[in-house]
């Protein structure tokens, strides 16, 4: 049950989306990295990187499972939500699942706090953090559906931005399963 919120999968470059917010698969220091993180910092420009540096200076590290908002800088999105997912195997599989779900839920909470009505997620933790893609997708879709069911009027659209065809198929299958 998602009421007025559309959940969809889309294949492409998250930095080109014009949702209100895009999610960065961030590290705890909010430093530019590789993969999605590097792409968002490059496309968002110095304003995104500077906002991250300022936030980290003022608040310290972001806890795993947490999320914070900064400007979207030069992106089409107004906001970047920097979500810190777990490194696979750092705790235990169930603990990793809980931390990953928290990163998705916290991203949605932070997005609504800044006034975003649409948000795009990458596959958090599945790159250099090594989270198994099938497991991560299952956790992501379940966490987002649960949050949207609890907050049916908070978001208009949630996009799962997929890097390749396998990811797109994975998310489309989970979304279709309802």
Residue 172 has pLDDT above 80, yes or no: yes
Residue with tokens 């696979």: 88
Count Cα atoms within 13 angstroms, Cβ side, for 3.
Answer: 11
Looking at the chain, which runs of residues are DSSP E strands? 6-11, 21-26, 67-71, 79-84, 118-121, 157-162
Start-to-end CA span in the chain (Å): 8
For residue 73, give the nearest of 2, 21, 119, 115 by alpha carbon: 21
**pLDDT category, 37, cuts 50, 70, 90?**
very high
Q: Which pLDDT value is given to residue 1?
A: 45
> For residues 30 and 60, what is the distance between their CA atoms, to the nearest angstrom?
10
Residue with tokens 């250099």: 128
Q: What is the DSSP string of 87-100?
A: PTTSS-HHHHHHHH
Q: What are the φ and ψ backbone dihedral angles of 152, each rounded to 5 degrees?
A: -65, -20
Residue 21 has pLDDT above 80, yes or no: yes
Q: Which pLDDT value is given to residue 178?
A: 77
Between strands 67-71 and 79-84, the pairing is antiparallel
Residue 164 has pLDDT above 50, yes or no: yes
87: which 2 tokens? 């490194």
**pLDDT category, 2, cuts 50, 70, 90?**
very low
Residue-wise pLDDT for 87-114, tens only, equals: 998 668 789 999 999 999 999 999 999 9
- Mean pLDDT value of segment 70-86: 98
> For residues 87 and 116, what is the distance between their CA atoms, to the nearest angstrom?
28
Task: Write down all domains in the chain, each with its CATH number in brackets.
Answer: 6-176 (3.40.220.10)
> For residues 131 and 119, what is the distance between their CA atoms, to the nearest angstrom?
22
CA 107 to chain CA centroid, nearest Å: 6
pLDDT: which is higher, 143 or 33: 143
* Single pTM value for the model: 0.95
- Mean pLDDT value of segment 116-142: 97
Residue 22 has pLDDT above 90, yes or no: yes
């Amino acid at each position: 049950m998602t009421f007025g919120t559309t959940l969809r999968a889309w294949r492409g470059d998250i930095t080109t989306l014009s949702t209100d917010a895009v999610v960065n698969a961030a590290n705890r220091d909010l430093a530019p990295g590789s993969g999605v993180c590097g792409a968002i910092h490059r496309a968002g420009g110095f304003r995104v990187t500077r906002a991250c540096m300022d936030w980290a200076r003022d608040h310290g590290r972001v806890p795993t499972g947490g999320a914070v908002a900064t400007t979207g800088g030069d992106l089409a999105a107004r906001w970047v939500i920097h979500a810190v997912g777990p490194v696979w195997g750092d705790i235990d599989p169930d603990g990793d699942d809980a931390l990953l779900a928290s990163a998705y839920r916290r991203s949605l909470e932070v997005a609504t706090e800044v006034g975003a009505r649409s948000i795009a997620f990458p596959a958090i933790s599945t790159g250099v953090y090594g989270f198994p893609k099938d497991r991560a997708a299952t956790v992501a879709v379940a966490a987002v559906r649960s949050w949207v069911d609890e907050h049916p009027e908070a978001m208009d659209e949630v996009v799962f931005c997929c890097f390749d065809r396998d990811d797109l198929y994975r998310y489309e299958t989970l979304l279709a399963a309802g």
